[in-house]
Structure 1
Amino acid sequence: MTERLEGLVRERVGGDPVCLFAYDLDRLTDHVRAITATLPRRCRMFYAMKANSADPLLRALAPLVAGFEIASGGELDKARAVGADVPVIFGGPAKTPAEIEQALKQGVQRLHVESLLELHRVSAAATRLGTTAEVLLRVNLSGPFPTATLAMAGKPTQFGIDEQDLPGCVSAARELPGVRLVGFHLHSLSNNLSADAHLELLAHYGRTVSQWEREFGLRCEVINVGGGIGVDYARLDRQFDWPAFARRLPSVLAEFPAHVREIDFECGRYLVAECGSYAVEVLDVKRNHGVQYALVRGGTHQFRLPSSWQHSHPFTVVPVDRWESTAPRPEVSGPVTVVGELCTPKDVLARDVAVERLRAGDVLVFSHAGAYGWEISHHDFLSHPHPEHVFF
C-alpha cells in the first residue's frame, strides 16, 4: 500500500465510514508500458474493457495499447467517449442485431463471431449499411488445456463455435455478402498463472491455425489469442512471469504462419488488477459460534470478486487510534473472517485470515482490486450508498 493511499484513508476517517476504491494511474501506465514494450513485432495488446471500464483508466491506457476489446454496445459508447478513432474489436457471445449495426456504424475494426447465426446477422447488417465487416471466427477448441480458474473452451460452454462445426462456418463466411474472414479468435481460458503453460497454449494455437489453413485453403491475416493471463490473489509474491514469457514468445510465434500480419492479445485483469485498492472501515468485530468476524462498510455488492471466485482476498490493516465513541471498542486477534453489510452469509471478502490486532474503526485495504471488482458487483442490492472512486 502506498503512503498516498494510506494518507487518503486517514483523511477520510472521522466522517462517514470509509468506503472507497482507489486507483494508481502511474502504477498502471508503468506496468502496461513495460508489458507492451516487450511484445514481438507482430503482436498487439488490446485492453479488455470488461475488467474495468472507468473513464480515467481508459484514458490512461489508450495511448499505450493497440485499442480496446469490448463486449457490448455500452462498452462501445465508453470507448468512443475516449476517442472517435480508438481502435475497437468486438467480442461477446450474444451480440444483438442493434449492437452489431452500432459497431459497424461506429467503425469497429473487427467483430469476433461466435455462431453461424451471428455471422448471418453481421452479413445482413453490413449489406444493409453498404459496408464490409472484418470478422474473426471464435472457435471453442477441443483441448485439452492448462488448468486455470475459468475455462471457456475444451468443454461445453456458451463461447465460440464448436470445432466440429467450423467447416460450415468457414464456408458461410466466404460466401455471405458484406463479410470478410480474416482469421480466428481462440480465447480458451482465464487466469492462467503459468508462463510455461501459456506458451504451450499459444504453440497449440499456432499449430491448429496452420492445420486449418491447409484444410480450408485459407490464408489468415489476424489471429487473436485472447487474454487469460492471470493474477495470483493467494500469493502476491508469485505472479505470472511476464519477462520469461516475453523472452520465449518469439520462438513460439515462429510456429504461426509467417504471413499472419497481426497476433492480438486482449488482456484485462493482468493489466489493471494491481493498480486498484478497495478500502473499507470496520464497523464492528464480534465472535459467533467460535468464529471471529469483522463487519465492514461495504462488501460483495461493491467487490464481488472474492465471492465469485471463492477465495480470501488479500488485505492489510490500517490501524486507526481515534475512537470518539463512549462505547467500549471491541477488538480481535488471530483468525478473522471479513464480511460485509449485506443480509446474506455469502457476503464474505476474506475467511480465517490471521491478524495481530483488529478493532472497530480500523480500515482494511484490499489490494489488487482494479479488475472485476466494482464492474461485476450487484451495486444496488439493499440500496447501500456506492463507494467513492478516487484516481491518483
Structure 2
Amino acid sequence: MTDRIEKIVRDRVGEEPVCLFAYDLDRLAEHVRAVVDSLPARCRMFYAMKANSADPLLRALAPLVAGFEVASGGELDKARAVDAEAPVIFGGPAKTLAEIERALRRDVTRLHAESALELHRISEAATRLGRTVEVLLRVNLAGPFPSATLAMAGRPTQFGISEQDLPAAVAAARSLPGLRLTGFHLHSLSNNLSAEAHLELLAHYGRTVAGWEREFGLRCEVVNVGGGIGVNYADLDAQFDWASFSRGLPAVLDEFPAGVREVDFECGRYLVAACGVYAAEVLDVKRNHGVDYALVRGGTHQFRLPSSWQHSHPFTVLEVDEWTAPVPRPELREASVTVVGELCTPKDVLAREVPVERLRVGDVLVFHHAGAYGWEISHHDFLSHPHPEHVFHADAS
C-alpha cells in the first residue's frame, strides 16, 4: 500500500464506515510501461478489459498498451469511449450476430473465432457490410499444460475449437467470404506463476503453429498467446518473474514461424491487480464456536475474488485510534481472525484464520492487489447495500 493510498483511506475515516476501492494510477503506469518496454519487437501487449474496465483506469492504460482486448459489445463501447481509434481485438466464447456486426461497424482490428458456426456468423455480417475482417481461430489445444489456477484448454471447456476439428475450421475460414484467416489464438490457462513454465508454454505454441503451417499449407501472420500470467495472492513478495520471462522471450520466439509478424499478449490481472486496494472498516468482532470473526462494511458482493478463488486475500490492518462512539470498543489481541462481510450467508468470507496482533472495531482492513477481478465480477446489489466509493489517484490529478 502506497502512502497516497493510505492517505485516501484515512481521509475517509469518519461518521460513515469506510468502504472503497482505491487505485494508484501512477503505480499502474510505472508497472505497465516497464512490462511493455521489455517486450521484443514483434510482441504486442493488449489489455484484457475483463479484469477491470473502469474508465479512469482505461484512460491511464490507453497510451501504454497496444490496444484493448474485449469480450462483449459492452466492453467494446467502453473501449471506444476512451479511444475511437485504438486497436481492439474481440474475443469471447459466445458472440451474438448483433455483437459481431457492432464490432465490424466500430472497426475492431480482428475477431477471435471460437467455433465453425461463429465463422459463418462473422462471414454473414462481413458480407452484408461489405467488409473483409481478420480472424484468428481460437484452438483448444490437447496439452498437457503447466499447473495454474484456471485451465481453458487441455481438457473439456467451452473455449475454442478442438484440435481434431481444426482442419474443417481452417478450410471454412479460408473459403468463407469476408474472412481473412490471419492466425491462431492459443490462450490455454490463467494465473500461471512460473516464468520458466510460461516460456515453455509459448515455445510449445510456436512449434504447434509451425506444424499447422506445414499441415495446412498456410502462412500465419499473427499468434495470440493470451494472458495467463498470474498474481501470487498467497505471498505478495513472490510474484511472477517478469524480468526473467522477458529475457527468455527472444529465444522462445525462434520457435515461431518466421512469417509471424505479431505475437499478441492479452494480459489483464497481471497488469492491474497491484494498483488497487479494497478498504473496509471493521463493524464488529465476535467469537463463535471457537473462531474469531471480524465483520466489515462490505464483503463478497463488492469484492468477490476471494470467494471465487477460495483463498484468503492478503490484507493489512490500518489502525484507527480515534473512537468517539458512546459504546464499548471490542478488540482482538494475538488472534487468528476470519474476515466476513455484511451479507446473510456464511459464504461471505474474505479471509480465514489470519493472525493479527490487534484488531479493533473501527480499524480498517486494506486488501492488497485488489485491482483485478474484484468489483468487476461481484454481485453488487445482493441485499441492496450501498456501493463502495471508487477513488482513482494520479499525481497530475
Q: Distance in 2 between matches of 1:93 and 1:211?
A: 25
Runs of 4+ that moved beyond 6 A? none
Q: Distance in 2 between matches of 1:123 and 1:273?
A: 37
**Residue 356 of structure 1: aligned partner:** 357
Check whether the contact 2:8–2:22 (CA below 8 A) recurs between aligned residues. Answer: no
**Residue 336 of structure 2: aligned partner:** 335
Secondary structure in 2 matching 1:15: coil
**Residue 57 of structure 2: aligned partner:** 57
Secondary structure in 2 matching 1:240: coil
TM-score, length-normalised on structure 1? 0.99
Q: Distance in 2 between matches of 1:265 and 1:11?
A: 38
**Residue 104 of structure 1: aligned partner:** 104
- How high is the sequence identity, in percent, across the aligned residues? 81
**Residue 206 of structure 1: aligned partner:** 206
Instruction: Quote the offset at 1:311 in angstroms.
Output: 0.3
**Residue 127 of structure 1: aligned partner:** 127
Secondary structure in 2 matching 1:118: helix
Deviations 1:352-375 (A, max 9, x none): 000000000000000100000000
**Residue 367 of structure 2: aligned partner:** 366
Asked if 1:181 corresponds to 2:181, the answer is yes
Aligned residues: 392
Aligned partner letter, 2:387: H
**Residue 279 of structure 2: aligned partner:** 279
Instruction: Quote the offset at 1:15 in angstroms.
Output: 2.2
Deviations 1:220-267 (A, max 9, x none): 000000000000000001000000000011001101001110000000
**Residue 257 of structure 1: aligned partner:** 257
Q: Distance in 1 between matches of 2:192 and 2:170?
A: 29
Q: Distance in 1 between matches of 2:25 and 2:301?
A: 24
List alignment gaps of at least 5 residues for structure 2: none
Instruction: Quote the offset at 1:9 in angstroms.
Output: 1.6
Q: Distance in 2 between matches of 1:145 and 1:12?
A: 46
Deviations 1:322-366 (A, max 9, x none): 111221111112100000000000000000000000000000000
List alignment gaps of at least 5 residues for structure 1: none
Aligned partner letter, 1:20: L
Superposition map of 1:155-304 within 5 A: 155-304=155-304
Q: Distance in 1 between matches of 2:96 and 2:116?
A: 14
Q: Distance in 1 between matches of 2:201 and 2:141?
A: 11
Check whether the contact 2:140–2:153 (CA below 8 A) recurs between aligned residues. Answer: yes
Aligned partner letter, 1:372: Y
Asked if 1:388 corresponds to 2:389, the answer is yes
Secondary structure in 2 matching 1:337: strand
Aligned partner letter, 2:122: V
Instruction: Quote the offset at 1:2 in angstroms.
Output: 1.7
**Residue 79 of structure 2: aligned partner:** 79
Instruction: Quote the offset at 1:282 in angstroms.
Output: 0.2
Secondary structure in 1 matching 2:265: strand
Check whether the contact 2:5–2:23 (CA below 8 A) recurs between aligned residues. Answer: no
Asked if 1:346 corresponds to 2:337, the answer is no
Secondary structure in 2 matching 1:248: helix
Aligned partner letter, 2:392: F
Deviations 1:49-105 (A, max 9, x none): 000000001000000000000000000000000011011000000000000000000
Q: Distance in 2 between matches of 1:232 and 1:100?
A: 35
Q: Distance in 1 between matches of 2:261 and 2:304?
A: 39
Aligned partner letter, 1:340: G
Which stretch shows the higher mean deviation, 2-11 or 215-224? 2-11
Aligned partner letter, 2:118: E
Q: Distance in 1 between matches of 2:190 and 2:40?
A: 22
Deviations 1:154-184 (A, max 9, x none): 0000000011000000000011000000000
Instruction: Quote the offset at 1:14 in angstroms.
Output: 1.4
Q: Distance in 2 between matches of 1:214 and 1:156?
A: 27
Q: Distance in 2 between matches of 1:255 and 1:3?
A: 44
Q: Compute the RMSD of aligned alpha carbons.
A: 0.5
Aligned partner letter, 1:132: T
Aligned partner letter, 1:265: F
Q: Distance in 1 between matches of 2:109 and 2:7?
A: 43
